Amino acid sequence: MTGEPHAPDEDASRAPGAASYAHGTSATALLGDTIGADLDRTAARWPDREALVDAPTGRRWTYRRFVEDVDRLALALLASDVRKGDRVGIWAVNCAEWVLVQYATARVGAVMVNINPAYRTHEVGFVLEQAGVSLLFASLSHRTSDYRAMVDEVRPACPRLRETVYIGDPGWEAFLRRGTSRARDELLARGSELSCDDPVNIQYTSGTTGFPKGATLSHHNILNNGYFVGESLAYSEQDRICVPVPFYHCFGMVMGNLAATSHGACIVVPAPSFDPRATLEAVQRERCTSLYGVPTMFIAELNLPDFADHDLSSLRTGIMAGSPCPVEVMKRVVSEMNMAEVSICYGMTETSPVSTQTRREDDLEHRTATVGRVLPHIEVKVVDPVDGVTRPRGVPGELCTRGYSVMLGYWDEPGKTAEVIDAGRWMHTGDLAVMREDGYVEIVGRIKDMIIRGGENVYPREIEEFLYGHPGIRDVQVVGVPHEKYGEEVLACVIPGDAAHPPTLEELRAYCEGRLAHYKIPSRLRIMDAFPMTVSGKVRKVELREQHAR
């Protein structure tokens, strides 16, 4: 399989002032399979090609062995009474076992629940209970995180969690041995009960109302998105994709893993979490052809003192996403990392994730000033945020997307689903965008107050709800302000309960430590007497941002 050349959308030649609407046409049909069926087809075609390399441990899987180990884990899930639709959590750093869990849960029709390994007790307890997770796979530890201790702490509040299996613990092998009592015919029978429209994955996005929402994605959603992202990059069985971005996010598990397995390519895991040197060493050693990352990752790699000592001549392409790419960084990625065909992607978890993408032949300006054009089989439009009418091209408005990629909904929250998916099945992204005359899209702002810190989406409301519990805080507003390295950082504007003894930044950070993910913890604090308000009594967050950006 190779990527077909995609012509600009059919509306690109229309007269100035045409509607900001584009539809990605394609001669390549959507895949109608489950993830398990697609993996079987790939393995049958390229059984001896490498499917997965875990660089830190040196372990390798051909597609034949990969399917065998996926099925071994899937049979263990059946033996553990995991039924179609049951939620199985994965709270782990990047490793080969993460990938095996992804495909084994899909094989048996379970719904894998991704849990950010940076989460702490406050967050993981909510996710386990909200999703109704019955079986959890977890890392033992990573850096300062003791996952077993945190699970033990939240377990009493999660009565539906009946078992936790720790990766790297003897319990992992013991769990796998359960499957030896089951016949593979049972796995085939389970597969025959599955539809590509079944839910297969829940990914939690930070909520504007205080808690994360579980975007529920189907086989059809994420398999096709991974496939068409790979098509745009011209992936084939010859490609080897270095994936330093986290698997818990769509960037890793869809744009990385599913793009690879749907094309017979190899997934290379460079490290449990991002390490710039380990990433470049994996590219060199494994002769990777593609490399992923958010701009800050590429900056960290380029700034290594021994960057020039690494042989990156095997690279040709990759994906940069998460935040805008500075022009100078893109120039260096193309020239010094040999990634002449590097691509920019835009999307959101709720859209599986990619809606627009630059193409291999696009020039530097399009790769740095736009987020590309619509992918095949997807529609995008830019509308007036108030009345929903489609804007003319060149006029800013809210970006909306529709098609196979739009999520099934937020898990167990139909009301919140209806707030973002309208009656026409358009997903309202909350991002302000401009569609150019050639169909390329520029993101110019955010309707919501989302902060993007180093590629991580942070919603202020969630942090505000948590900080309201601090005894020294009467009121709090959280905004993003510019940061040279991370793009944005988290600023907490606080009205103290006792003006004579306001909380310090150190106290605030200590209060959050171990209970909020590190990237959500405020790095700046401003003590205030009052917040700027609108005439209707709403806090003017835009004014807070402008005041403190300086």
Please report the pLDDT score of residue 538 as a whole number.
62
C-beta of residue 383 within 8 angstroms of C-beta of residue 398: yes
Please report the pLDDT score of residue 5 as a whole number.
38
What is d(CA 295, CA 332) in angstroms, rounded to the nearest whole number?
12
Please report the pLDDT score of residue 537 as a whole number.
55
C-beta of residue 21 within 8 angstroms of C-beta of residue 390: yes
Question: Dihedral sign, CA of 274, 268, 315, 287?
Answer: positive
Q: Looking at residue 94, what DSSP letter applies?
A: S
Q: Is 9 left (phi over 0), alpha (psi -120 to 50) or beta?
A: beta
b/e map of 474-496 (b: 16 or more CB within 10 Å)?
Answer: ebbbbbbbebeebbbbbbbbbbb
Please report the pLDDT score of residue 458 as a whole number.
82
Please report the pLDDT score of residue 533 as a whole number.
76
Q: For each of the domains in the chain, give its residue range(s) and CATH number, in order of start.
A: 10-15+27-435 (3.40.50.12780), 451-549 (3.30.300.30)
What is d(CA 128, CA 463) in angstroms, rounded to the nearest whole number?
19
Q: At 50, is the secondary structure helix, strand, or coil? A: strand
Quickly list DSSP for 227-271.
Answer: HHHHHHTT--TT-EEE--S-TTSHHHIIIIIIHHHTTT-EEEE--
Please report the pLDDT score of residue 6 as a whole number.
39
Task: List CB contacts of 433: < 8 A, sequence separation 6 or more.
Answer: 382, 396, 397, 398, 399, 441, 442, 443, 444
Give pTM, 2 decimals. 0.85
DSSP run (H or E) holding 490: strand 487-496
C-beta of residue 106 within 8 angstroms of C-beta of residue 134: no
Hey, what are 360's tokens? 């291999």
| One pLDDT digit (tens) per residue for the chain, 550 residues | 344 433 444 444 355 569 999 999 999 999 999 999 999 999 999 999 999 999 999 999 999 999 999 999 999 999 999 999 999 999 999 999 999 999 999 999 999 999 999 999 999 999 999 999 999 999 999 989 999 999 999 999 999 999 999 999 999 999 999 999 898 999 999 999 999 999 999 999 875 445 789 999 999 999 999 999 999 999 999 999 999 999 999 999 999 999 999 999 999 999 999 999 999 999 999 999 999 998 889 989 999 999 999 999 999 999 999 877 888 889 999 999 999 999 999 999 999 999 999 999 999 999 999 999 999 999 999 999 889 999 999 998 999 999 999 999 999 999 999 999 999 999 999 988 999 999 999 988 667 677 888 888 787 878 988 998 899 998 899 999 999 888 999 999 999 999 999 999 999 999 999 999 999 999 999 999 988 875 445 678 888 988 887 6
C-beta of residue 96 within 8 angstroms of C-beta of residue 269: yes
Q: Are strands 290-293 and 317-320 parallel, antiparallel or unpaired?
A: parallel
